[in-house]
Structure 1
Amino acid sequence: MTGVLFAGLCTLDVLQFVERYPADNEKVTALTQTVAAGGPATNAAATAAHLGGTATLLTAVGSHPLAAGIHADLAARGVHLIDLAAGDPGPPPVSSIVVSAGTGNRAVVSTNGATRTLTVPDLPALVRGQRAVQVDGHYPELAVAVLTEARRQGIPTLLDAGSWKPALPALLPLLDVVVCSADFRPPSAHDPAAVAGFLAGHGVRWIAVSQGPGPLLRWTGNGFATHPVPPADVVDTLGAGDVLHGALTLATARRRPLTDTTFATSLDEAAAIATRSCTSFGTRTWMSDVDRHGAT
């Protein structure tokens, strides 16, 4: 089994699937609902485990009763959870998510857990044997520590760059792969080429930009190569980026050493899996048995 390590945010996601968004002061009845652990690193870890990897998640959950739902979901998905805030009695971050049946779009209200104090474990032993490490930029001190140790051990490092965070400059020199969303905008970088140049200037070797249903843009050093995203009947886009990153991290781990060719192949594989995740409601429904071990 291929070991992959994820470090970052974990939330409790409460998802409601509605015919249409409610207006102000209006109550609507959901068509269906689901509850699952969420957050970029968490959904990526669940994806990697589903695809046959041995996924370990470093995060903060705590001892509040709401944490039981997180523990149950991750246990069911085969994710090894290491709770770095196990003694914290406060509630975990909760995301309230409403998904429109008509468009697949969603509205999200959430907290990010930034105030939590984490106890960093013995990283050399934990990182040893992993084939790739991904962080999501939450809990920056943890991310720096994990990436530094992975670099020391020669393990590929990846970042899920969903949005710009002030702490990211400290992470970038420690990263091999950065895949960022179209919303990721470092200071003074206002288009994908400028974003790629910014990341490359900080030492990142393999870079791509995701564009939702549009093609992935893979930076070649002189411009972009495009990777089309497979078409799909979209039901819900929630977590698709997290799925992309989880599948990419596992594919990277399985195709070491990391090269331009293996990065390109891994991007295509991850894009196909992320697209499949958009064809059903929620972040877990797509994980049917027929998909298990789908990565190569």
Structure 2
Amino acid sequence: MTLTDRKILFTGATGQAFRPAAEALARDNEVWCAARFTDPVVRRDLESVGIKTIPWVMGAGNVVGLPSDFTHVVHAAPYRGQPDSDTAAQANAVAAGMLMHHCRAADAFVFVSAFAVYKQPPSPDHRIAESDPLGGHAPYAPTYPIGKLAAEAAVRAFAGVLGLRTTIARLNVCYGPTGWGGVPVEFFGRILAGEPVWLPEDGSDIWSSPISTDDVTMFLPRLWDVASTAPTIVNLAGDDALSLREYCTLLARQAGLEVDFVPSAESRQSYASDNTRRRSLIGDCRVGWAEGMRWAIEAHYPNAFTGTPTSIAGKAAVNIWGQR
């Protein structure tokens, strides 16, 4: 489905995963972005490509001046406050419900959740399907799963009550050229700086199904297309299951570097995805992980694989969890 001449609202378009989608859709649609805009440069950059911006704090009340006649909405902004789980649940659930009520006339609504809502799988390389047990597991950010689970519950309720066609997309590891770049870009920066890459303290590996922001952008219209008043739930993940050792080792070798893997409590667990449902609903990815990660890294570190890499000011910054 190609979207043109629609009125689209994004929350979370100031971040890493959905900013490219907002910018792409702004070429042929009226796109709005609601956010805190703590970085005025990002706001100016969004406005420079035709995106209309409006300040918004999650769960703080209705947005004054925000239209209600959007045809499509993607709510990707999370509240990540730590360590207050009650505030995280309240802010995420209330914000989702209020936004859905405000935009209840929309054709379709996408809520971006996360793999953190799933219960820890029986083995690190287990591929998680949408039917796997929920429970939430993110030791690096204990309140994050709670907020996402609370928001998912609110989204399910409001979709049915309002008759608002909705998709809940559970995002896996995402990487791309904007924001902090995602885990692969962050770890390349650590390798480049001679810093260790963290693995679990028990010596196991970390698995994920990384997805490029190019594929997120491609899939977004399809996620709206498959929305339902009994929300469609789908994993938004890359085609391949990868271990952290595998992709870090390959990227380092291609850049002429070496990786120092170190067991640490700072490791951030992620999981591989069973993409059977995603493939049946919205198709396959277009970007292979090796090519996509190189492209994302080069956006943050020019000449990373062809010469002397340099970082770009304002990129490859502290990640969303406040760790380096």
TM-score grouping bracket, smaller chain normalisation? 0.3 to 0.5
Q: Which has the larger radius of gyration?
A: 2
TM-score normalised by structure 2 residue count: 0.39
TM-score normalised by structure 1 residue count: 0.42
